[in-house]
Amino acid sequence: MQFLKWEDGNEYDGSQINPSWAFQEFNVKDSTIVSWVGPMNILGDNLIDYEDVGLDITGNKMLHFIVEHFDEQPGNLKLAYHRQRMLVMIMRDKLLDYGIKTTQDGDDIFIDNGKLSVSIATASISAMKIHFAVNITKKGTPADVNVASLEDNGISMDDVYELQDKVANTYIETIETIMKDITKTKVF
């Protein structure tokens, strides 16, 4: 699995959740975790969560992660959601390193009652995909949502980039150690 950093400033519009996006964008033939800092503006055609239809899903500055796994065909939606929750828990664990205590409800992270993250998992015939992002700022987020942000909790941009690396590398390490555990386990 490869960790790729996309140029900061690129907008997440929902199209990046499409199958083989990293191959099309970066010509990488592997499972990937792609991360960048940029805005989010999900258009109606790219909404894949039925609960979000008709909602504005926006933010001026977020830390994004797009994960794509090709280790099971067809893609397993249940496994994609398990991996999504694992990514959420890794982020929560790494935020503790900065003294930020969070709570979790499903795939959402909260600081006090403010929603810090957005996320979706999906599967296709060839892969499993996850989009996960945390608010760096509250600017540009929907007015009707109580939002939390990293900057309001003392996280600098240097910290954001450090967090980006820690989360992505821990996710890869966790996936790799699971695969190694599978290969060393006697099955009946």
What would the pLDDT profile of 88-103 be if each residue is shown by its tens digit?
A: 999 999 999 999 999 9
Percent of the chain with pLDDT over 90: 80
Order of strands across the sheet that contains 32-41: 2-5, 32-41, 58-69, 128-135, 117-123
Cβ burial 79-107 (10 Å sphere, 16+ → b, else e) = ebbebbbbbbebbbebbeeeebebeeeeb
Q: Which two tokens stand for residue 93?
A: 């664990």
**Residue 155 to residue 159: CA distance in whole angstroms:** 6
Number of structural domains (the chain) is 1
> Residue 50 has what pLDDT?
43
Give the residue from 16, 11, 103 showing the smallest Cα distance to 58: 11
The mean pLDDT of 54-59, rounded to a whole number, is 72
Kindly report the pTM of this predicted structure: 0.92
Phi, psi of 5 (to 5 degrees): -105, 120
Domain with 72, as residue range(s), is 2-184
Q: Please give the distance of CA 46 from its chain centroid, rounded to a whole number.
A: 16
Which CATH number characterizes residue 157's domain? 3.30.930.10
